[in-house]
Structure 1
Amino acid sequence: MARTYVVTGSASGIGRATAELLREQGHHVIGVDLHDADITVDLTAPTDRERLVAEVAERSGGAIDAIVAVAGLALPIPATVGVNYFGMVATLEGLRPLLAGSPAPRAVGVASMASLHPNDAELVDLLLAGDEPGALARAEVLAADPETTGALIYGSTKAAFARWVRRNAARPEWAGAGIPLNAVAPGVIITPMTAAMVETAEQRTALLELVPMPLNGFAEAITVARLLAWLASEENTHLCGQVVFIDGGSDVVIRGDATW
């Protein structure tokens, strides 16, 4: 049966691959991005987050079957906080009421194996507290040195989002309403976002030292898209609050036999 999906970040990378895959499967996809999408919004802006919900409601007739929140930034700048955490949470929370009429509602977002890397505890706490002004101010401080403290911004947003999923997935408004809420945590995926990081053999070697991927190395976007499509499908009935690492083994190498 054809379903209606909302996919953020649909203009490129994992989001584009996911939107294309779902359309190939015969589903209706409402794509969201800064450009080249059905709905164009800037997820760093609270007013645009509200407009996203209103426009999805209008385009869908007030009912959708799944949310696939992919949009993100990997830059050592405050805007990464706005998109990767507050934009992600606002998308999932804002669109959740539109899932109410679906016989198989689903929601999934994109975290990252970078959630395993060192992060800024102060920023993570501000994110989880929902303090956007405070988090942006902290990110400004970190961004002053892009090579050191600024590099902590991305991993901090992804760690906070993964923890948000764990904290909320079993709550009445999600699991209690029959909505599986989960996340995926990719390793290095070949997308426009990572292109500049893998141009030379030296860059690739250095990146694999930071993000070890013993199983088949770097991945294509479609690899993650297939997992997202399944998590958002009718088949996924009982996966709840999981952060599924699709990282070629990075999680295993970094954490060993630890399961949490």
Structure 2
Amino acid sequence: MTGSARGIGAAAVQRLREEGHHPIGLDLDDADIIADLATLGGRAAALKALGERSEGTLHGVIACAGLAGANTAAMVGVNYFGTIALLEGVRELLATAEDPRAVAVSSSSIILGHDEELVEACLAGDEAAALRLAAKEPRLVYASTKVALSRWVRRHAIRPEWAGAGILLNAVAPGTVLTRITRPILATEEGRAMLAEATPIAVDRYAEAEDVAPLLSFLSGPDNRYIVGQTIFADGGKDAIRRGDRLP
């Protein structure tokens, strides 16, 4: 579990423990494995430690680590390249398990607009180009990295080395979740109005991290028997409101 120290990652870790699983947490601090997925060295260290702690077998992986904010380089590094390096790097560990599963945490922001050039640079594996493009248009970096992640999942999940090897790969797209990032926004009238316009919901409240954890648990476990390559929205109705009956 990457991003295990806080937010959705921490809630998912707690959920998995309650279900009798033994999650290995990975984060910048307060985790079983301390590593920075924004850097090449951090990615290598994370994979080495995962191989040692798992003793060569992982039954599931949830790539939850993600960043938003002003640091565009860190967003590109963690949200896309670090996540992909982690997923690709643990594929052989998953392949040794029975009913292995993998889940990436995308975002419902993928429907709001993105920088297609940045998305394509990510999918081409050109991190240097992606970093340059991100610096030019910081406003779209978060959504663009998440679009790239969802596309990567869709393209790779159906391949022989994933579904063909019995590893079911999917993504989840949460809507607005009450975290240390969103709570300050919702504390002001201006912030509440901005979110209401950008992320409308059909239910009567925004999500807590614990509301997303059951879906992550299901997709990363053997009860998920036939879902492959999907980005499943857990957004309180945002996607249906914004896009109506358009299917993708």
- TM-score interval (norm. to shorter): over 0.9
Which amino acid is the alignment partner of residue 182 of structure 1? N
C-alpha separation between the residues in 1 aligned to 2:65 and 2:187? 23
Task: State which of 44, 53, 59 in structure 2 corresponds to 1:59.
Answer: 53
Structure with a larger share of its residues in strand:
1
Partner residue, 2:76 = 81
3-state SS of 2:90 partner: helix
Q: Which residue of 1 aligns with 2:22?
A: 28
1:37-77 residue CA offsets vs partner (Å, 9 max, x unmatched): 00000111011111111101101111110000000001132
Residue 98 of structure 1 pairs with residue 93 of structure 2: yes
Q: Is the 8 A contact 2:95 2:166 kept in 1?
A: no
Over the matched positions of the two proteins, sequence identity in percent amounts to: 50
1:130 maps to amino acid: G
Structure 1 counterpart of 2:111: 116
Tell me, what secondary structure is at the counterpart of 1:104?
coil
1: CA distance, partners of 2:89 / 2:161: 12
Residue 28 (structure 1) shift: 0.6
Separation in structure 1 between the aligned mates of residue 34 and residue 183 of structure 2, nearest angstrom: 24
Structure 2 counterparts to residues 27-46 of structure 1, below 5 A: 27-46=21-40
1:141 CA drift (Å)? 2.0
- C-alpha contact (below 8 Å) 1:119/1:155 kept by paired residues: yes
Q: Which runs of 5+ in 2 are unaligned?
A: none
Counterpart code for 2:113? P
Query: Alignment partner of 2:25: what SS?
Result: strand
TM-score, normalising length: structure 2? 0.97
The residue correspondences of 1:110-259 to structure 2 (distance < 5 A) are: 110-142=105-137, 150-259=138-247
| Alignment correspondent of 1:11 | 5
Q: Distance in 1 between matches of 2:11 and 2:231?
A: 20
How far off is 1:202 after superposition? Answer: 3.2
- Counterpart of 2:94 in structure 1: which amino acid? L
TM-score (norm. length: structure 1): 0.93
Counterpart Cα distance in 2 of 1:193 and 1:14? 12
Aligned-residue offset at 1:220: 0.4
Q: How many residues in Structure 1 have an aligned counterpart in Structure 2?
A: 247
Structure 1 stretches of 4+ moved >6 Å:
none
User: Contact (CA 8 Å) 1:12, 1:192: kept in 2 or not?
Assistant: no
Report the Cα distance in structure 2 between the residues aligned to 1:177 and 1:96, rounded to whole angstroms.
Answer: 10
User: How far apart, CA to CA, are the structure 2 residues paired with 1:86 and 1:250?
Assistant: 27
Q: CA deviation at 1:258?
A: 1.1
2:182 and 2:37 map into 1 onto residues whose CA distance is 20
SS at match of 1:229: helix
Residue pair 1:41, 1:48 contacting (<8 A) in 2 also: yes
CA distance in 2, matches of 1:221, 1:55: 27
Q: Show CA shifts across 1:117-153 (max 9, x none).
A: 11111111101111001101111222xxxxxxx2100
CA contact (8 A) 1:13 1:193 kept: no
AA partner of residue 75 (structure 1): G
Asked if structure 1 preserves the Cα contact closer than 8 Å seen for 2:76 and 2:130, the reply is: yes
